[in-house]
Structure 1
Amino acid sequence: GKTTAIQMIIAALETLEFSYYLASPTGRAAKRLGEATGRKAQTIHRLLGYSPQEGFLYNESYPLKTNMVIIDEASMMDVLLFYQLLRALPDDAHLMLVGDVDQLPSVGAGYVLHDVIHSGRAHVTRLNQIFRQREKSHIVINAHRVNQGQVPYTDNNSDDFFFFGAEEPQQAADLIVDIVANRLPAKFGVDPIDDVQVIAPMYRGAIGVNTLNERLQSILNSDSRAASIKIGPRTFRVGDKVMQTRNDYDREIFNGDIGRIYGIDYEEKILIVNIDGRLINYRIPEDTDALIHAYCISTHRSQGAEYPVVVMPVLYHHYIMLQRNLLYTAITRAKQVVVLVGQRKAIHYAVQNNKVAERFSGLLHRLKS
């Protein structure tokens, strides 16, 4: 929906010979935007000429030269970055924010997209129609149900949305490992490492990111003959699924990029990672602190990405994190299949819990006034 809308607006701008920039808060989202539109897209930081030494190049005194800036995944933009973006806009330029306000808010301060929408100062268009080719997709149907405060269908009467019951965290963890390693590959022919993404609400516990990463690594990449290296408490092995956690503009790798460890050069102390077909050298330990295992990632780290298959534990044991926008965000990451593992009562609780923590950045008040 929104990608098609962006493409149509770009076509209109180019017909009118208006200049524009495409940008997104994260490198991964910018890469997806560029691939979807066939046009250059970049992070907001790069658009604004940011450098750690000099800060932001563009501002009121030296604004961008453009007719329009289009920001995708705007829900991930915090108020400080939004401030810098507004400073850099020419007075006669247009700003278009595109995003899903019902997803998790930004990691940083503020609730930018929400505040802009509710200020009454911006033209707002909502895309809420399910088109015919997606009408039978239970991923789409259940995403809409969750967003509207309705419990998703969990009767396993579909080809793309499944629920497996588990009352205890250990039972759920065992089930997740089996589903990822055995059941999904057998039923759908997917690669358990490249095609399946486990997303967890919390880091600790049997169904947390840390433990699930360890267990999935031991099952999916267990070859003791493969080269490995221990860096701090973590063991990295050739074949491991890993994620880059910060932007590196010099090497064009970005926060959220996922790859596989390709090799280890013990003599030069270099970890070689294949990211989108490019072999990237990580110095040990200078660069490897930006790498984490990515068999399982947090819901926040999944924002702005899409995966063929998403598997998520949903148990009352992490009730403090069970919110409607968290469940909605996880479901909408999947392109082909969603698997929820846990308790129906936990799903009910998450759907009903729409109490997003209030954020008082002052932006909404200033926009209204």
Structure 2
Amino acid sequence: MPARSYDTLQGTLERITYVNEENHYVVARLQVSGRRDLATIVGNLPTVTPGETLKLTGEWIQHNRYGEQFKVEAFETISPATLTGIEKYLGSGLIKGIGPIFAKRLVEVFGIDTLRIIEEEPSRLLTVDGIGEVRLQRIRTAWEEQKEIREVMIFLQGHGVSSAYAAKIFKTYGKSSIAIVQENPYRLAKDIYGIGFKTADRIAQAIGIEKHSPLRVEAGVIYVLNELAGEGHVYYPIGDLTKASAGILEVDEDLVTQAVERLRHEEQVICLPVRDRTQMDEPEPQGVAAYLASLYAAEEGVARRLQALAEGGELPADIDIERAILWAEQTNRLHLAEQQKEAIREALIRKLLVITGGPGTGKTTILRCILQILDKKHRRMLLCSPTGRAAKRMSEATGREAKTIHRLLEFSPKDGRFKR
């Protein structure tokens, strides 16, 4: 696929018409040499201020409502070079302690050297009427903060990070952004929503991290396990994981094996022997599997909770179960398989039962028979599913109302807990 080509645009920022403080998305107007009308620019532009000269990289788009706009992918700030630009820049509220009035006074005293004086000889500001030690300290502090933000943005964009991601990175790490990205850019995938392994890997390559770096291989293994989890795999056999990771990362399998061992030692990955569930009488493990630590904790927690519920004893056997099963078969004009009958028996006496199986194995038939038997005995029943879609399918299959778990247990978003 050919590389995407972008346009460049340079001009003076006239005014900002909208800014989202959360993600620094900005809509602004730019005075561009040679254009009669102001250009509308949109994009993630943290720290930009009216009066600045901006060099923008992006593309022209046509908005249905607002017309032609320049969508910014990256930007560079060029210090204002005119007295009007400097005055507008300082008077914008960017620097605490300097408003429009003091901006005008500073430009009148120092002229085109105003920004250099603030940067290199700030004590000279005391010669300006109305600026004392307290205001001077506020100005110096605000100037340093803005400088840090600019340095971070310039560094990140210089290494191929879009302005949108750069804004997220600075919001997360602040003035430590450069040090963290240089030390381990793969932290971004873990710490910042929206930045995945592939984006972090591009940044890592841009700052010179080797393809075979242990940091990269470890992050790659975590990425592969997350991708597999998205496909429904809580764990994955070590051998298959090693091959998959080596292929995606384009490194030797030995490096992946070493990375998995380090991740295991750091308890980011849990490795356990597994047995073939279809051969439960086989005493020997069938191999070793790797879990993401979070998924292992989740699976183990669910298993412990289910076990505790299942050990609550049996329900009173006031139903002639065999007769009830025969009645269900006759009512539905079907012949139940022995495993289906066993599931119905267990469901009628256990406080908790898990019935599992692939499509077409008879789960819905079992559920319908259990409900019919309990209904015949005038038992109160409630049906629920994890999602609204699943609840709808359950209702269609049983002819009874089914709710989501959250609705059944009356989850309160305000309190963050279930009322039942």
TM-score tier (shorter): under 0.3
Could you state the TM-score of these two structures normalised by the residue count of structure 1?
A: 0.23
State the structure with bigger RCO (CA 8 A, min sep 6), 1 or 2: 1
Higher fraction of strand: 1
Q: TM-score, normalised by structure 2?
A: 0.21
Larger CA Rg, structure 1 vs 2: 2
